[in-house]
Amino acid sequence: MALFGNAHTVDPAQAQQDFARLLGAGEQVRAAFLLIRDTILFTDRRLILVDKQGITGKKVEYHSVPYRSITHFAVETAGTFDLDAELKIWISGSSVPIEKTFTKGVDIYEVQAILTQFVAK
């Protein structure tokens, strides 16, 4: 499904190893999703967006979003004809949300629960 631009689940332990250099001491990856070349990491401290750029993907931009900066979020479940679920996250200081699309195989309720756990503190 990555060919269609939709995210799919990545093993958090594997993401922990793959992105160890980005993580702070004791920081743990709780969930991870792959979107073609980009990755979304939900850690116990922040949301990390890994954006590979260019044709080769050697240039990478890392966005670190502390959960306290998330003002609100929305999830849209997959439907009968629309097989994708969507996540929108609004960050303080920005009127345009971060938008990510997930395949029907991803439990969007799990994503919502992770955000609720950390944002609602």
* Distance, CA of 105 to CA of 83 (rounded, Å): 9
Mean pLDDT by 10 residues, the chain (121 residues): 60 96 96 84 94 82 94 83 80 91 77 87 71
Label residue 97 exposed, middle or buried (CB < 10 Å: 0-12, 13-18, 19+): middle
Q: What is the pLDDT of residues 73-93, one digit of tens each?
A: 998 887 666 667 888 999 999
Instruction: Please name every residue paired with 72 in a beta bridge, in sequence order, or none if there are none.
Output: 90
Cα 32 to chain centroid, rounded: 6
Record the pTM: 0.82
Rounded distance between C-alpha atoms, residue 115 and residue 121, angstroms: 10
Mean pLDDT taken over the chain: 85
Q: Which two tokens stand for residue 63?
A: 């966005």
